[in-house]
């Protein structure tokens, strides 16, 4: 226990310097600013804002990025409540009751309880990360290539099970993602794979480019299809501070949401996305009068929002301890860390304790700041939301271009986001969700590396993955999960969760 | 309002193909798999003990192909989603342009000493902007099928991004930014010229201040070849 406090003490000492507080503040601000824009989720926001952290020292840059992440998350909830447009899968649930509350003139209370719930969830999640960080890092040290490979297989199976829509399509997306990661120079032999002689492909496809195309540009193309029917709440925002009665109703859902979201967020393979759905279902089951849900029940905002934020934060755990990004946002964090010369993984905590604990402490500070800056600024966000989409999307387009150009100063990167944008647009049109593709792409390189290494060690014997106990255990979990997901009864339940 | 194509697809769902969407998706995936296998065909596969560069991509391609096959099979067994022309019009047009430019480039490399990559690049851009302009003209003159095909959005978004990529190194952000915003802005039929131009100018000024002066990113601002370089 003492360790946690001394470590967190170190973290706060780093995070509370004037410069880092300012960076955290700035990150939260711009993160919210971009995240509020309808149709811009956290992935596109981070990809767009990545370049603004380049000039900073690694600690400052990561603190700012974490701030951008929370800001984007919170901005997404604001849009979900005020406009009924979810910025990402996780805030779909918030639109159900949040927007109804807003229509009843209780937008302020909905936003307030979302912020307070998120802050509480963030506080708990910070403690969870601090407590689990050290033991999990020790666990990582007994992991060999075979274990890493199996862990990633399990993560991808999770992603398949958690993806919306058809399982077959999710598997396809993951395979295409891994296939995409093999484009470029082969690390061991130096031979070029599937580059067709184009020099810009010899380093492989850049992750930020792929993410920006699939999530930023494709989203614009999709939004343009519908003539604008943005339902910005016209009713007054109302008071922000929830009443004592609201608090009484929301307290238990916040607590349950935090626990559900926090636990799911640790899972590899984007468990965090399940948190809000699970929390909403639980609250609806527990409610005395479930019919209130979908008609502005405060529990339906408080629980999922807390779960969302707790999961967003605990999903840092697999990245920081094992070096495996559990979802696309964390994959962007890997990119950002690599640019600053930090390889995520168990060695970060021992080699760079300042960075590790500073970042964790700044997560809490970031959450506090969101609470402080967002509530007074809601008027500004509402005004921003009233800007018509015909002006908003060209600006988003330019930001995407500038953002992606400044990462490598390469014009081919800019061209590529257009192409991936079209690809992502077609995927969505045919009912393929791009999120699993991105995760497959991120884990692809790591998987191939570990697969090859494991097979070299075992002299080409595939049995190594089943003979090593930890690896076998992980694979069994993966197989069971997949089997369970394909079972008809469970599949029906899964479909219901996502339909709600 | 369902379009004619949608209606015919709906009617077709009672027939042999019950899930047109998964049929098209499956065929496309099988084509992708075949392409990947062809693209890695000149690389050594290696053995499990010492994996070659082609082993994993080839396995993955086979996996993608099998998924595609499964989708095709399901298309005949299970009633699924319909497909409307607007779902694939944009990608069909762009793929068509892509194939045409590969052909043009192959011919050009035979006839002249141009490199394949360069010839392809110019052919693609010329055909793409030609296509985008044609779509805009047809859409403005209210051709129903162009409006229903949803070509305008994706094509103009891409055209805007391409314009940015083409001009940022040559002329700088002051030109590339407004160009991207104005061309991209034409993606919606609601676009208004005057408003768009003023807004593009203002946003560009803001971005110059933010990215170049506040954040110090090495992004060129204005280049007039041989005279100005900021």
Same structural domain, B98 and B203: yes
pLDDT of residue A490: 59
Q: Which residue of B has its CA nearest to A407?
A: B217
* % of chain A exceeding 70 in pLDDT: 94
Over residues A36-83, the pLDDT tens digits come to 887 788 888 888 888 788 778 888 888 888 888 888 888 888 888 888
Nearest to A164 by CA among A75, A258, A86: A86
Q: Greater confidence, A443 or A134?
A: A443
Q: How far is A354 from chain B (nearest CA, A)?
A: 25
Can you read off the two tokens belonging to residue A315?
């999903």
Which residue among A225, A397, A455 sits closest to B181, beta carbon to beta carbon? A397
What pLDDT does B5 receive? 45
CA distances for A345 relative to A211, A316, A321, A342, A449, angstroms: 22, 11, 5, 9, 15
Which of B67, B86, B117 faces A171 most closely, judged by CB atoms?
B67
Residue B162: its H or E element? helix B152-167
Cα–Cα distance, A310 to A263 (Å, whole number): 8
Answer yes or no: do B93 and B76 share one domain: no
CA-closest candidate to residue A79, choices A39, A45, A114: A39
pLDDT at A491: 58
Which residue carries 């890092």 as its tokens? A137
Q: Both B64 and B94 in a single domain?
A: no
CA distance A55 to A223: 34
Contacts of A156 (CB under 8 A, 6+ apart): A174, A269, A436, A439, A440, A443
Q: Quick one: B157 and B74 in the same domain?
A: no
Q: Do B191 and A390 touch (CB under 8 A)?
A: yes
Q: What is the number of structural domains in chain B? A: 2
> What pLDDT sits at residue A342?
81
The predicted pLDDT at position B181 comes to: 95
- Helical ranges in A235-323 per DSSP H: 244-266, 274-286, 299-314, 316-317
Distance (Å, rounded) from C-alpha A407 to C-alpha A208?
9
| pLDDT of A234 higher than 70 | no
The residue behind tokens 């082609």 is: B54
Q: Check: CB of residue A330 under 8 Å from CB of residue A135.
A: no
- B91's tokens: 């990608």
* Same domain (yes/no): B74, B134: no
Residue among A398, A404, A486, A491 with most chain B CBs within 10 A, to mutate? A398
Name beta bridge partners: B223.
B229
CA distance B154 to A426: 10
CA quadruple B196, B198, B200, B206: dihedral positive or negative? negative
Average pLDDT for A466-483: 88
Q: Are residues B58 and B146 in the same domain?
A: no
Q: Which residues are CB-neighbours of B212 under 8 A, at least 6 positions away?
A: B173, B219, B221
Domain residues for the domain of B34 are 4-83
pLDDT score for B1: 38
Do B94 and B151 belong together in one domain? yes
Mutate to test the interface with A, among B160, B170, B175 (most CBs of A within 10 A): B160
Q: Using CB atoms, which residue from A221, A460, A462 is nearest to B153?
A: A221
**Where is the domain boundary, B83, B111, B137?**
B83
Q: What pLDDT score does A216 carry?
A: 86
In chain A, which residues have their Cβ closer than 8 Å to the Cβ of B164? 398, 401, 405, 414
Is the predicted pLDDT of residue A148 greater than 80, yes or no?
yes
Tokens of A424: 């992502």
Q: Can you state the percent helix, strand and coil of chain A, rounding each to 5?
A: 80, 0, 20
B96 and B51 belong to one structural domain: no
More confident residue, A162 or A225: A225
Confidence of residue A2 (pLDDT cuts 50, 70, 90): low
Full domain range(s) for residue A312: 2-499
Please state which of the ranges A245-259, A432-446, A486-500 shows the lowest mean pLDDT: A486-500
Mean pLDDT, rounded, for A252-269: 87
Q: Is the pLDDT of residue A406 over 50?
A: yes
Q: How many CB atoms lie within 10 A of CB B202?
A: 12
Considering the domain architecture, whether residues B111 and B203 belong to the same structural domain is answered as: yes
User: How far apart (Å, rounded) are the C-alpha atoms in residues A340 and A334?
Assistant: 10
**Between A and B, how many CB-CB pairs are < 8 A?**
207
Asked if pLDDT for residue A230 goes beyond 70, the answer is: no
What is the distance, to the nearest Å, from the Cα of residue A120 to the centroid of all Cα atoms in its chain? 19
Please report the pLDDT score of residue A267 as a whole number.
80
Length, in residues, of chain B: 230
Using one digit for the tens of pLDDT, what is the confidence trace for A297-306? Answer: 888 888 999 9
pLDDT score at B211: 82
d(CA A402, CA B177): 8
pLDDT of residue A11: 84
Q: Residue A193 is inside which H or E element, if any?
A: strand A192-193
CA-closest candidate to residue A389, choices A102, A74, A85: A85
Q: Which chain A residue has its CA at the smallest distance from B154's CA?
A: A221
Average pLDDT, 10 consecutive residues per value, chain B (230 residues) = 43 67 91 92 81 87 94 87 82 91 90 83 90 87 79 91 93 93 90 91 91 82 81
Residue B111 burial by Cβ neighbours in a 10 Å radius (0-12, 13-18, 19+): exposed
State whether residue A17 is helix, strand or coil. Answer: coil
Average pLDDT over residues A80-103: 80
Helix axes B85-111, B152-167, angle to 10 degrees: 40
> Which tens digit of pLDDT belongs to each residue from A332-355?
888 788 778 887 777 787 788 888
Q: Same structural domain for residues B156 and B209?
A: yes
Q: Which of A415, A425, A461 sits opposite B90 (nearest CB)?
A: A425
Per the CB < 8 Å rule, is B161 touching A417?
A: yes
Indicate whether A424 pLDDT > 70.
yes
Count of the separate structural domains present in chain A: 1
**Cα separation values, A309 from A266, A411, B153, Å:** 12, 36, 34
Q: Are B174 and B212 in the same domain?
A: yes
Intra-chain end-to-end CA distance of chain A, in Å: 41
- Euclidean distance between CA atoms A494 and A427, whole angstroms: 22
Please say whether the beta carbons of A385 and A36 come within 8 A.
yes
Interface test with A, best of B19, B54, B67, B210 (most A CBs within 10 A): B67
What phi and psi values does residue B51 have, to the nearest 5 degrees? -65, 135
Instruction: For residue A374, name the pLDDT band (cuts at 50, 70, 90).
Output: confident
Would you tell me how many other CB atoms lie within 10 Å of the CB of residue A67? 29
Name the closest residue on chain A to residue B219, using Cα atoms: A406
Question: Where does a domain end: B35, B62, B83?
Answer: B83
- Domain boundary residue among B83, B102, B118? B83
Contacts of A460 in chain B (CB under 8 A): 47-50
- Same domain? For B37 and B58 the reply is yes
Q: Are A298 and A250 in contact (CB under 8 A)?
A: yes
pLDDT recorded at residue B34:
94
CB A158 within 8 A of CB A268: yes
Length of chain A, in residues: 500
Over residues A467-490, the mean pLDDT reads 82
Close Cβ partners of A452 (under 8 Å, ≥ 6 residues apart): A188, B51
ipTM, two decimals, is 0.89
Quick one: closest CA in B to A403, which residue? B211
User: What are the phi and psi torsion angles at A184 (to 5°)?
Assistant: 115, -170
């Amino acid at each position: 226990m003492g360790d946690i406090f001394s470590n967190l003490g170190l973290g706060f000492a780093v995070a509370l310097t004037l410069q880092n507080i300012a960076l955290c503040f700035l990150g939260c601000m711009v993160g919210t600013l971009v995240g509020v824009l309808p149709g811009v989720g956290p992935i596109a926001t981070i990809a767009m804002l990545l370049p603004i952290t380049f000039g900073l020292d690694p600690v400052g840059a990561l603190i700012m990025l974490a701030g951008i992440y929370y800001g984007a998350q919170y901005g997404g909830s604001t849009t979900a409540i005020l406009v009924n447009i979810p910025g990402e899968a996780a805030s779909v649930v918030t639109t159900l009751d949040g927007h109804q509350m807003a229509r009843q003139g209780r937008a302020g209370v909905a936003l307030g309880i979302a912020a307070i719930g998120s802050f509480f969830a963030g506080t708990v999640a910070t403690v969870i990360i601090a407590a689990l960080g050290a033991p999990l890092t020790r666990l990582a040290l007994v992991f060999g290539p075979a274990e890493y490979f199996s862990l990633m297989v399990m993560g991808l199976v999770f992603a398949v099970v958690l993806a919306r829509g058809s399982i077959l399509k999710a598997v396809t997306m993951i395979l295409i993602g891994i296939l995409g990661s093999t484009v470029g120079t082969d690390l061991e032999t130096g031979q070029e794979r599937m580059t067709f002689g184009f020099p810009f492909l010899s380093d492989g496809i850049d992750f930020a480019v792929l993410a920006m195309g699939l999530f930023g540009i494709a989203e614009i193309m999709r939004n343009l299809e519908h003539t604008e029917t943005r339902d910005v709440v016209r009713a007054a925002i109302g008071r922000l501070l929830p009443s004592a009665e609201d608090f009484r109703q929301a307290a238990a859902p916040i607590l349950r949401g935090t626990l559900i979201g926090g636990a799911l967020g640790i899972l590899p393979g984007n468990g965090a996305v399940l948190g809000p759905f699970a929390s909403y279902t639980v609250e609806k089951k527990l409610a005395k009068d479930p019919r209130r849900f979908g008609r502005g029940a405060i529990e339906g905002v408080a629980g999922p929002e807390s779960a969302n934020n707790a999961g967003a934060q605990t999903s840092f755990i697999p990245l920081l301890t094992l070096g495996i990004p559990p979802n696309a946002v964390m994959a962007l964090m890997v990119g950002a860390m690599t640019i600053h010369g930090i390889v995520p993984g168990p060695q970060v905590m021992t080699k760079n304790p300042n960075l590790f604990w500073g970042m964790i402490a700044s997560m809490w500070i970031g959450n506090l700041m969101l609470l402080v800056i967002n509530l007074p600024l809601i008027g500004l966000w509402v005004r921003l939301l009233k800007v018509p989409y015909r002006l908003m999307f060209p600006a988003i387009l330019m930001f995407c271009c500038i953002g992606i150009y400044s990462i490598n100063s390469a014009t081919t990167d800019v061209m590529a986001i257009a192409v991936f944008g079209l690809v992502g647009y077609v995927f969505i049109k045919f009912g393929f969700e791009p999120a699993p593709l991105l995760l497959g792409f991120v884990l692809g390189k790591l998987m191939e590396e570990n697969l090859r290494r494991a097979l070299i060690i075992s002299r080409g014997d595939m049995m190594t993955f089943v003979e090593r106990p930890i690896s076998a255990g992980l694979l069994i979990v993966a197989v069971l999960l997949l089997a369970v997901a394909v079972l008809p009864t469970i599949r029906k339940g899964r479909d219901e969760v996502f339909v709600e | 309002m369902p379009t004619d194509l949608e209606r015919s697809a709906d009617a077709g769902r009672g027939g042999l193909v019950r899930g047109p969407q998964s049929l098209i998706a499956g065929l496309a995936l099988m084509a992708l798999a075949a392409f990947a296998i062809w693209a890695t065909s000149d690389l050594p596969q290696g053995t499990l003990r010492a994996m070659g560069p082609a082993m994993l991509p080839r396995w993955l391609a086979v996996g993608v192909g099998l998924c595609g096959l499964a989708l095709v099979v399901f298309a005949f067994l299970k009633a699924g989603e319909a497909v409307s022309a607007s779902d694939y019009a944009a990608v069909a047009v762009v793929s068509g342009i892509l194939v045409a430019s590969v052909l043009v480039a192959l011919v050009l490399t035979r006839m002249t000493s141009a490199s394949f990559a360069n010839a392809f690049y110019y052919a693609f851009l010329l055909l793409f902007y030609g296509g985008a302009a044609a779509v805009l003209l047809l859409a403005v003159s209210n051709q129903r099928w162009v409006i229903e095909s949803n070509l305008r959005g994706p094509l103009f978004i891409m055209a805007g991004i391409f314009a940015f990529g083409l001009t940022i190194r040559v002329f700088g952000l002051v030109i590339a930014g407004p160009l991207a915003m104005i061309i991209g802005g034409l993606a919606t039929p609601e676009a208004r010229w005057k408003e768009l131009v003023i807004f593009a100018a203002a946003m560009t000024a803001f971005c110059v201040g933010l990215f170049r002066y506040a954040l110090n990113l090495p992004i060129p601002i204005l280049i007039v070849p041989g005279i100005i370089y900021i």
